[in-house]
């Protein structure tokens, strides 16, 4: 009881000749108490009323993220190709001096045309499912939800009776699966590591980068400085060869022809667009493989112009240098692999044991 404080200081029980403090309110953070007042007793009570005003913040659950998805099965590529054929300007590659501007203009026209002819839908992030939801339970829930939709649409007593029957079966299957899961889990959890692995599997708490990172005597607080520090740490794990590689001397006295100007032909660009796999993940610009493949008839000429201008200028658009990278753990101890890569990064606020 050393870490708690009494908030009520006045007497709460009044006798004929004396008074005493019987109604206590204890708090661990005195700063949370804005005021504490003792009022006369209410009707029929022999105790004074205690009114305590607290100030605290209830942690909010993380917001559900939403994203826009393309309904590619309902895409009208015939209309897309017709609009792009007239919207994309015919530009001479020799007149292009700003490769970023040329790509940004193409990207804007391309995506704006797709938005007009491909419907989109907002989807929220799926909630984390509890581990005891087996295939049988999910099937029961699916049948119950389908029966509820039919019953709401037709509104007949027999359909509502069928829905209640399926609802009871779904609840019974869920309870049975939960009991079986915890019964099996009790025989598997033998260490604290197993317990916390299970705890993280059923909670939505995600590990975040600490607010302060340190590397040696340098500390980083902003997102940019932390990203730079992590990048420097990752780069320091790669070492150059002790002996530099030397280009071997060319044998023989024959001469080599000079390298000619590299150009892309429209045919090759068109065939490359048709060969794109539709399931390829998109880049940060949001352009997907099936979009380029479906609109290849109308964009291959404009892309050829941009490619040739890029080769002539010796620069690529800045947007092509951006990518979404997701590290995927392959084998070994995931914890040790992570600690090895971050061995030089420390969190000053964390204590090691």
Q: What is the pLDDT of residues 35-80, one digit of tens each?
A: 888 887 776 677 778 888 877 665 555 566 677 889 988 999 999 9
> How many C-alpha atoms does 129 have within 13 Å on its Cβ side?
10
Nearest to 320 by CA among 103, 155, 139: 103
Q: What is the pLDDT of residues 114-138, one digit of tens each?
A: 999 999 988 776 555 677 788 888 8
Beta pairing, strands 218-220 & 213-215: antiparallel
Q: Is 339 exposed, middle or buried (0-12, 13-18, 19+ CB in 10 A)?
A: exposed
* Rounded-to-integer distance, Cα 290 and Cα 278, Å: 4
For the chain, domain boundaries: 5-54, 80-119+265-320, 135-202, 213-237+333-341
pTM over 0.85: no
Q: What is the DSSP string of 287-304?
A: --HHHHHHTHHHHHHHHH
88 pLDDT more than 60: yes
Model confidence at 6, pLDDT cuts 50, 70, 90, reads: confident
Contacts of residue 41, defined as CB under 8 A and 6 or more positions apart, other chains included, come to 47, 48, 49
* Rounded-to-integer distance, Cα 224 and Cα 333, Å: 29
| Helix pair angle (77-87, 296-313), 10° resolution | 40
* Rounded-to-integer distance, Cα 51 and Cα 59, Å: 24
Higher pLDDT, residue 245 or 168: 168
150 pLDDT more than 60: yes
Q: Are 70 and 118 in contact (CB under 8 A)?
A: yes
Q: What is the pLDDT of residues 10-20, one digit of tens each?
A: 777 777 777 77
Identify the helix (H) or strand (E) that includes residue 190: none
> How many C-alpha atoms does 295 have within 13 Å on its Cβ side?
31
User: What is the pLDDT, as a whole number, of residue 330?
Assistant: 65
Higher pLDDT, residue 2 or 55: 55
332 pLDDT more than 80: no
* Rounded-to-integer distance, Cα 310 and Cα 304, Å: 10
Contacts of residue 4, defined as CB under 8 A and 6 or more positions apart, other chains included, come to 26, 27, 28
For the ranges 62-71, 165-174, 180-189, 320-329, the maximum mean pLDDT occurs at 165-174
Model confidence at 268, pLDDT cuts 50, 70, 90, reads: very high
Ranges 190-194, 283-287, 305-309, 318-322: which has the least confidence: 190-194
Higher pLDDT, residue 342 or 60: 60
| Percent of the chain whose pLDDT exceeds 90 | 29
Rounded to the nearest integer, the mean pLDDT of the chain is 78
Q: Are 84 and 298 in contact (CB under 8 A)?
A: yes
User: What is the pLDDT, as a whole number, of residue 285?
Assistant: 84
User: What is the pLDDT, as a whole number, of residue 353?
Assistant: 36
Q: Are 145 and 85 in contact (CB under 8 A)?
A: no
Q: Are 295 and 77 in contact (CB under 8 A)?
A: yes
User: What is the pLDDT, as a whole number, of residue 338?
Assistant: 46
* Rounded-to-integer distance, Cα 223 and Cα 209, Å: 10
* Rounded-to-integer distance, Cα 38 and Cα 8, Å: 8
Q: What is the DSSP string of 1-60?
A: -TT-EE---S--EE-SS-EE-----EES-GGGEEEEEEEPPPTT-SB-EEEEEE---PPP
Higher pLDDT, residue 173 or 31: 173
344 pLDDT more than 50: no
28 pLDDT more than 90: no
């Amino acid at each position: 009881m050393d870490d708690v404080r009494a908030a009520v200081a006045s007497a709460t029980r009044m006798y004929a000749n004396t008074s005493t403090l019987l109604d206590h309110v204890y708090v661990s953070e005195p700063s949370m108490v804005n005021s504490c007042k003792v009022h006369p007793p209410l009707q029929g009570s022999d105790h004074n009323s205690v009114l305590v005003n607290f100030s605290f913040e209830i942690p909010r659950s993380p917001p559900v993220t939403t994203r826009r998805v393309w309904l590619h099965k309902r895409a009208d590529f015939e209309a897309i190709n017709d609009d792009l054929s007239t919207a994309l300007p015919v530009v001479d590659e020799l007149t292009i001096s700003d490769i970023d501007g040329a790509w940004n203009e193409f990207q804007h026209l391309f995506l704006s045309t797709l938005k007009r002819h491909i419907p989109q839908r907002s989807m929220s992030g799926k909630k984390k499912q509890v581990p005891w939801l087996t295939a049988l339970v999910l099937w029961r829930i699916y049948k119950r939800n389908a029966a509820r939709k039919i019953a709401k649409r037709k509104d007949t007593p027999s359909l509502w009776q069928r829905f209640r029957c399926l609802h009871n079966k779904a609840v019974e299957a869920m309870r049975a699966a939960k009991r079986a899961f915890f019964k099996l889990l009790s025989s598997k959890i033998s260490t604290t590591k197993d317990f916390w692995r299970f705890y993280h599997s059923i909670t939505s708490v995600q590990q975040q980068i600490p607010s302060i990172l340190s590397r040696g005597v340098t500390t980083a607080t902003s997102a940019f400085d932390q990203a730079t520090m992590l990048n420097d740490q990752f780069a320091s794990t790669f070492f150059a060869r002790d002996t530099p590689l030397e280009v071997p001397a060319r044998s023989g006295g024959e001469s080599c022809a000079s390298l000619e100007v590299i150009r892309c032909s429209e045919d090759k660009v068109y065939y490359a667009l048709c060969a794109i796999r539709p399931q390829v993940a998109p880049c940060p610009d949001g352009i997907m493989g099936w979009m380029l493949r479906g609109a290849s008839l109308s964009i291959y000429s404009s892309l050829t112009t941009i490619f040739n201008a890029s080769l002539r200028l010796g620069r690529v658009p800045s947007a092509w240098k951006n990518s979404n990278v997701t590290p995927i753990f392959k084998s070994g101890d995931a914890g040790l692999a992570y600690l090895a890569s971050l061995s030089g990064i420390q969190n000053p606020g964390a204590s090691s044991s």
